[in-house]
Amino acid sequence: MESSIRSLTRDQAQKLLEVARGHRLEALLTVALVTGMRRGELLALRWSDIDMETGSVQVLRTVSRIRGRGYVVTEPKTAKGRRRVMLPGPVVEVLKQHRVRQLEMRLRVGSTWQENDLVFCNMYGRYQHPDHMVEQFQRLLKNAGLPHLRFHDLRHSAATLLLAMGVHPKVVQELLGHSDIGVTMDIYSHVLPSMQKDAMDKWNEMF
């Protein structure tokens, strides 16, 4: 499992967000990196799912683009997939700025806007094409001088960075919506040796 996982370091994540500042993907990438939400969950997110006062997001649905059927919205596969995720203050501010820019875009396009309450929509208020979004993401990675990543690797980055910061694996499991903590531990076992070293270093301080 480890060999298939690529994730950004803390410095690389900061570099990506710096390059994305002011870009139409800034808010989406910020939320992806902080929460580990899946691409389909992000593209299905509605403003009604976000509570700016408490700084929380409810993950209630996911969207996929299926050939011949268009955009198909479904509920998360498991009960754990339906979850509430807390957001840090700076991420709430990024979302507020994103909403202002979205309202400005809505005014520009006028009657061609289609209101769907989507947080990360295209310029006409409709679902954002996942492939087009990924192309923009790849360009930002290139501009930041970062290695090629799949969009899903932002989810791995979120989990790896949280675990490296000492966040309890149970909390990471709940954030990611994994059905079982064993899934989280299996996928991110490569992070555990450094966590164990940190734990032993704390013993050193006591002695």
| Residue range 100-110, pLDDT digits in tens | 999 999 999 99
Least confident of 49-58, 83-92, 125-134, 154-163: 154-163
- Which one, of 9, 8, 20, lies nearest residue 140 by Cα? 20
- Cβ 146 vs Cβ 133: under 8 Å: no
pLDDT of residue 2: 44
pLDDT in tens, 154-174: 999 999 888 888 888 888 888
Report pLDDT for 195.
62
Residue 37: pLDDT band with limits 50, 70, 90: very high
Chain mean pLDDT for the chain: 90
CA contacts within 13 A on the Cβ side of 6 = 9
C-alpha 57 chain-centroid distance: 11
| Residue the block writes with tokens 């690389």 | 12
How far is residue 181's CA from residue 67's CA, in Å, rounded to a whole number? 34
Q: What is the mean pLDDT of residues 93-121?
A: 97
pLDDT attached to residue 191: 67
User: According to the model, what pLDDT value does residue 110 have?
Assistant: 95
Domains (ranges, CATH) in the chain? 2-206 (1.10.443.10)
